[in-house]
Structure 1
Amino acid sequence: MKKSILSIASLLFCAYTYAQTAGNANAVTDPLGSQYYLNPYLANPAYAGADSGLHINLAYRKQWTDIPGAPQTKLLTADYFVGSRVGVGLQVYNDMAGLISNTRIALTYAYHLPLNDNGHTLHFGISGVLYNKRLNLKDINGDMNDPAANAFNRRDNYFESDFGVAYTNKRLGLQAALPDMISHLHAEDKEAGTQTFYAAAEYKFEVSEAIPYIIPKVAWRGIQGMKDIADLGVKVVFLRNWLDVTGIYHSSGSFSTGAGFSYPSLGTLQFMYNTQTGGFRNYSNGGMELHLKINLFQ
């Protein structure tokens, strides 16, 4: 029995380590590419309901090479402008890596304060977040009733809170977000590799009829126990907003590129490819993401 417990404990440790470090599914060092342009609500609760109508986003990510136990990410978000300057949002995020399933559910309230009649607006948002981590017992090569494995799944869910603020006008966007605020009150308990802050700035340049606009963007992400990561990106829109291409360089040593096809009043379908973060290129040749955004009641 002792040998069985040690085997399961070793398996849990390896699976947890793999889930936190290997592959593009690490939501901190390699977040979903849609958070930069297509779905900013994903990174900052202040963007919930920032535009009129209901916006539903679906996303899926996996490694390009089909490795057993490789990370996979699934995402659903919905945000809606209720009226009276109020927006609400929902996020359901699931990350699978090896035997570990990590689920994050967030409910968001946002307030959008117009500063004048020319589109200058301040946005504030706060989210209540539930985290759930579980071990997939069915895939264990061993005794599924082993106490060590069951103890992992008996851990309590835990709650967090995110806060964000943003300023936007017709061209400029500035934002900052503080994820997992409760953990900031107990910094000694904060896990290495978790995000401590997010900030970004972008500007829309109008170019021509063939290329309606170009949007360069710079973002900065603080990571607990790791070097901060800078993101430098640009989005170029073609064909009267029907087609766009995106490129983003990450100082962690990876690069994201993608293309989107839009019917502006209905939504956008976007494909992205991410090269692997520097230290893991020997194990994976990157990952792919598929995003679908649906606009309703606009």
Structure 2
Amino acid sequence: MKKYFLILFNFFLATTIVGQQRPHYSQYILNNYIVNPAVTGIENYADIKMSMRNQWIGIPGMPKTVYFTAHTPLNKKDYRENITSLGMKNNPMGYDFTETYNAAEPHHGVGISAYNYSTGYINRINAMATYAYHMGLNETWSLAGGFGAGFSHIAIDRSQIIIENPSDPLIGALTGIKRKYKPDLSAGIYLYSKKYFIGISGQQLIPAKLDITDTSYQTSIIPHLFATAGMRVQLNEYVSFLPSVMFRYVKNLPLTVDYNLKLQYMNFIWLGTNIRKGDGISALLGINFNHSFNVSYAYDMTASKTMLGPLNRGTHELVLGFILNNRYNDMSPRKVW
């Protein structure tokens, strides 16, 4: 009976995720690029990130996500006279940052992203190229607009679905692997300054139908809309407080809200939390080892843990960051945080 319950639960969960389509991330505040293509090329360097997320450890067939992103500015100018590195007394997260901050000079950004998202018998691969244009509106405010274009491949291994009554005409069609290729499109805008940011973006902007069986049963691939906002509060010369919020809207699903709190010491280490309303809380830790490498980790304690019981050992997410062509030796982002 317990096995049958888990099978039914996995079927329900996977069907729900087909509707949502997009994987969840606890550390998108470290990589807003995965939410909004307008962030493409926002910094002075090439930003590369790789991540692995295992959700609800201990439950067979639960979601796993691996992603790779890389984006860089093209012909971006920066008129700083001093580099920002550990060897300098200048602290890019301190008061000097506010005094030396300038709006972005007009420039382009390009990038690529790819992820593999699997849960139970469903596997999705997505690849996309992105472009953005940044320009200053005045001395401190900048505006960016961007889009991404690519494809998604969704595979459903229907032979892995175990149902009590296989003679059902609908379920009887669940044999073999069902594959679907579809074009994918994203777009967004991003308004940012030395103390604030606001972003609006959309993903999966090309709706499509996904056949689950060989009969008439279908589920929809529908757009996801995001709105983000945040601010920087300088507590003293060494510590910054960075609160932010994200709203996620998907048609026919409840609006979800994430609250993020991040406390950063200089450009070296930070602690944070992500609170997903009605779902759970995450603890986050990140370290910038030097101007070329950083790492961060998140542990999620979700409300779903109560539903899944003692089998659930939480969710783990690891992000590795690499910085290339970093001519100012920046150890932490200056434009997005």
CA distance 1:97–1:175, change in 2 (3 Å)? same
- For residues 198-213 of structure 1, what are the structure 2 equivalents within 5 Å? 198-211=226-239, 213=240
Residue 31 of structure 1: CA displacement?
1.7
- For residues 123-202 of structure 1, what are the structure 2 equivalents within 5 Å? 123-136=144-157, 148-150=174-176, 152-153=178-179, 156-183=180-207, 191=220, 196-202=224-230
Give 1 or 2 for the bigger CA radius of gyration: 2
SS in 2 for 1:282: helix
Q: How far apart, CA to CA, are the structure 2 residues paired with 1:177 and 1:92?
A: 18
Alignment size in residue pairs: 268
Is the contact between residue 243 and residue 260 of structure 2 (CA under 8 Å) also seen in structure 1? Answer: yes
Deviation track 1:157-206 (CA, whole Å, cap 9, x = no partner) reads 0012111001111111110002222229xxxx9838x5531001111111
CA distance 1:279–1:83, change in 2 (3 Å)? same
Q: What is aligned with 1:243?
A: 269
SS in 1 for 2:117: strand
Is the contact between residue 16 and residue 100 of structure 1 (CA under 8 Å) also seen in structure 2? Answer: no
Q: Which of 272, 282, 286 is equivalent to 2:314?
A: 286
Q: What is aligned with 1:44?
A: 36
Residue 130 of structure 1: CA displacement?
0.9
Q: In the alignment, residue 48 of structure 2 is paired with which amino acid?
A: I
| 1:120 and 2:107 matched | no
| Unaligned ranges ≥5, structure 1 | 1-11
SS in 1 for 2:247: strand
Q: What is aligned with 2:251?
A: 224
CA distance 1:21–1:246, change in 2 (3 Å)? farther
- For residues 58-97 of structure 1, what are the structure 2 equivalents within 5 Å? 58-63=50-55, 65-83=57-75, 85-97=107-119
Q: Which of 17, 24, 31 is equivalent to 1:31?
A: 24
CA distance 1:115–1:81, change in 2 (3 Å)? same
Is the contact between residue 135 and residue 149 of structure 1 (CA under 8 Å) also seen in structure 2? Answer: no
Q: What is aligned with 1:19?
A: 14
| Unaligned ranges ≥5, structure 2 | 1-6, 77-106, 163-171, 209-217, 327-337
Q: In the alignment, residue 291 of structure 2 is paired with which amino acid?
A: S
Is the contact between residue 15 and residue 99 of structure 1 (CA under 8 Å) also seen in structure 2? Answer: no
Q: How far apart, CA to CA, are the structure 2 residues paired with 1:288 and 1:206?
A: 30
Q: What is aligned with 1:4?
A: none
Q: In the alignment, residue 75 of structure 1 is paired with which amino acid?
A: Y
Is the contact between residue 64 and residue 118 of structure 2 (CA under 8 Å) also seen in structure 1? Answer: yes
| 1:101 and 2:123 matched | yes
CA distance 1:274–1:20, change in 2 (3 Å)? farther
Q: How far apart, CA to CA, are the structure 2 residues paired with 1:166 and 1:190?
A: 32
Q: How far apart, CA to CA, are the structure 1 residues paired with 2:247 and 2:55?
A: 25
SS in 2 for 1:149: coil
Give the share of equivalent positions with the same residue, in percent.
21
Q: How far apart, CA to CA, are the structure 1 residues paired with 2:319 and 2:200?
A: 24
Q: How far apart, CA to CA, are the structure 2 residues paired with 1:151 and 1:243?
A: 45
Deviation track 1:38-93 (CA, whole Å, cap 9, x = no partner) reads 10000000001111111110000113533332221101011111226111111111
CA distance 1:79–1:151, change in 2 (3 Å)? same
Q: How far apart, CA to CA, are the structure 2 residues paired with 1:267 and 1:173?
A: 25
Q: How far apart, CA to CA, are the structure 2 residues paired with 1:231 and 1:132?
A: 28
Q: What is aligned with 1:56?
A: 48
Q: In the alignment, residue 260 of structure 1 is paired with which amino acid?
A: G
Is the contact between residue 178 and residue 196 of structure 1 (CA under 8 Å) also seen in structure 2? Answer: yes
TM norm structure 1: 0.80
| 1:268 and 2:261 matched | no
Q: Which of 280, 283, 290 is equivalent to 1:254?
A: 280
CA distance 1:280–1:76, change in 2 (3 Å)? farther
Q: Which has the higher contact order (CA 8 A, sep 6+)?
A: 2
Residue 228 of structure 1: CA displacement?
0.2
